[in-house]
Structure 1
C-alpha cells in the first residue's frame, strides 16, 4: 500500500461505500506513550484505550517530530482497528493510528474536535 502525502496527488481510484465500511476506524485515548529505540525510523509505541469492546491496543507511530510523549497521553486519536497486526521490530503493532501530512510531510494526528466515547466508529 502506497500512501500519498502530496496534497497535489490525484484522488485514489473510485470505490464504494461498502468497501469504505470494511475499514473499522475508531477513536481511542492514548494511555501510554513509550520510546521505541529499536524502530528504523523515529517512532513511539502508543497504548490506546478503545473502550470495553476492543480494549487497549498497541500502535507504532512515526509521530516524533510533531508530538512529545507527554503531548500524547490523554489525547484522543483515530486508528484502523481491523487490520491484521504487523510485527515491527520487537513489538506487534495492533492498530494503524491515522493522520495527515503537514507541509514538511510529517504526521499530524487525526482526531475529533470534541471528546467522544472511546470506541466510537467513524461513519
Structure 2
C-alpha cells in the first residue's frame, strides 16, 4: 500500500494536476507521508515542495479517500489517496520533481493515473468537475 495525501484545487470546473519529470501521466498534486506526519502536515509540506505555494492548514477539508492500482507499479500495489481541499497563498509554479502543471476536465481521463479516475468521477458526480 502506498499512502499519499493529495490536494484538490478546483477552478472553473477543472482540477489542478501535475506531471512529474520522466512520467507519462498526470497526478493530483501531493505525496507520501513522512513518519509521524498528520495528513495536513503532509499536505502543507508536499504542496510547498511541488508547487511553491503555502497551504493554509486551518482551511483543509477532507474531500474523500480513494484506492486503486498504483500507476507504473506491479499488479496488486495499491495507492491510497487521502484528498483535501484547502486555500493557498502564493503563485502556483512547478518545483522539485514536477515538470508541468495543468488544469484538467472530466474529458482528460486518458491522461491521468488510475486512482485519479476515481477522484475525477467523484468530483464530476458532485458537480465540481466539468466535462
Asked if Structure 1 and Structure 2 have the same fold, meaning a TM-score greater than 0.5 normalized by the shorter chain, the answer is no
Greater Cα radius of gyration, structure 1 or 2: 1
The TM-score normalised by the length of structure 1 is 0.25
Q: Which has the higher helix share?
A: 2
Question: Which fold has the larger relative contact order, with Cα–Cα distance below 8 Å and residues 6 or more apart in sequence?
Answer: 2
The TM-score normalised by the length of structure 2 is 0.25
